[in-house]
Structure 1
Amino acid sequence: MNRTEREAGFADYVAARRPKLYRTAYLVCGDPHEAEDLVQTALAKLYVAWPRVVATGQPDAYVRRVIVNAHLDEIRRPHRRRERSTRDELLDGPAGDPERPEDTDELWQALRALAPGQRVVVVLRHYWGLSVNETAETLGLSPGTVKSQTSCALERLRAALDQHHLTTRG
């Protein structure tokens, strides 16, 4: 693959997939600025590995994994935990199309209340539509862990949404 073909293929991929990659990063981290950083990190790594990744036929899987790993690395840093608690108080919800079900305030608040690992599993399984095995491979977890994390996360989401409906209707 010559440089012109490489750059054209990469540019086509980015043009087609960037909105979904941004949305994934945003759903995972909850911050538009951090989501941009995650996508830029992922795309920079993808560009370097482009010929190898294209050969596997799995560029989405590669980029998803980079986004998730970069986010998990970021939240493990002690200074980020302090910043996040202050920033979370200032965020009023996602910027997006309010007609989309994942953009409703109550769903967004419930999703944000999940543990980071549970949130990532929900995003990969239900936003990307990955199978249990694909999610496990992306995250480097066992399929059983993915199943249990998904089950716990969905239970917490249901409880939070049921509680919201009880308080707004009753």
Structure 2
Amino acid sequence: MDDEEERSFRAFVAARSPALMRSATLLTGGDTHAAEDLLQTALAKTAGRWKRLESPEAYVRQVLYRQQVSLWRLLRSHRETTVADVAELPDTPAREDGTGAAELRILVRRALARLTIRQRAMLVLRYFEDCPEREVAELLGCSVGTVRSTTHRALARLRTLVPELDPAAACGLGVGNSSVEVRQ
């Protein structure tokens, strides 16, 4: 990499790192250290191909997702540990001082951390990155039907963990088909 390419790469990293770090943090379930490692790996791979890339951000994001999927596949043989009782999440009533929204974001982040890596990756790609199902399937190496079913189960699990996300549950109607917007 010559001096001009290095300056260009450094400018890209300085400009896009915060947004890329948010995506990496969501993919790792809120684990900042794992997110930093994931982003560092993606940027290192990007640096090696910098002069050949037409869309560097798209390449970095693809590396982020694929690295996380590789980790998921590596850990796939290790199943979740089941426990007798699931810890109850505290209620977050709407407050006049505006802290209800902050508490809801904290609850959503904690709930995302309790999802499987695959479910979390699907939700991040579909709702945070706003990728179509076909693109998610290509990135994660699965079928569109798998994306749909995994996303459906992940949303249902989020609604169970954070009932405030489901307006139908608040009305006593059970789990509805409302969309969830996952933002940091």
Q: Is the contact between residue 66 and residue 139 of structure 2 (CA under 8 Å) also seen in structure 1? A: no
Q: Which residue of 1 aligns with 2:141?
A: 140
1:95-151 deviations in Å (ceiling 9; x for gaps): xxx897697221112211211101001011111111112222222222222122111
TM-score, normalised to structure 1, is 0.72
Number of aligned residues: 147
**Number of the residue aligned with 1:15:** 14
2-structure distance, mates of 1:73, 1:21: 18
Cα pair distance change 1:25/1:140, threshold 3 Å: same
Deviations 1:11-58 (A, max 9, x none): 22211210111111111112111111111110000000112222xx3x
Change (3 A) 1:14 1:100: farther
2:39 matches 1:42:
no
Rounded to whole Å, the distance in 1 between the matches of 2:137 and 2:165 is 31
Matched, 1:26 2:25: yes
The letter of the residue matching 1:140 is G
Query: Which runs of 5 or more residues in structure 2 are unaligned?
Result: 82-98, 170-184
**1-side partners of 2:117 and 2:73: how far apart?**
10
- Deviation at 1:9? 2.3
Q: CA contact under 8 A between 1:102 and 1:108: conserved in structure 2?
A: no
**What residue number does 2:117 align with?**
116
What's the secondary structure of 1:129's corresponding residue?
A: coil
Q: Does 1:66 align with 2:67?
A: no
One-letter amino acid of the structure 2 residue matched with residue 33 of structure 1: H
Question: Radius of gyration: which is bigger?
Answer: 2
Q: Residue 99 and residue 162 in structure 1: after superposition, are their counterparts in 2 closer, same or farther (change >3 A)?
A: closer
Q: Where does structure 1 lack aligned partners over 5 or more consecutive residues?
A: 86-97
The CA deviation string for residues 69-111 of structure 1, in whole angstroms up to 9 with x for no partner, is 3234345557xx7xxx9xxxxxxxxxxxx89769722111221
RMSD: 3.1
* Alpha-carbon separation, structure 2, partners of 1:101 and 1:143: 34
Distance 1:102 1:141 in 2: 34
Using a 3 Å threshold, how does the CA distance of structure 1 residues 163 and 126 change in structure 2: closer, same or farther?
A: closer
* 1:69-84 → structure 2 map (5 Å cutoff): 69-74=66-71
Q: Between the two proteins, what is the percent identity of the paired residues?
A: 41
Q: 1:14 to 1:160 in 2, by over 3 A?
A: same
Runs (4+) off by over 4 Å: 75-78, 98-103, 163-166
The 1:111–1:162 alpha-carbon spacing in structure 2 relative to 1, beyond 3 Å, is same
Q: Secondary structure at the match of 1:21?
A: helix
C-alpha distance in structure 2 between counterparts of 1:16 and 1:36, whole Å? 16
TM-score (norm 2): 0.67
2:131 aligns to what? 130
Identify the structure with the greater helix proportion: 1
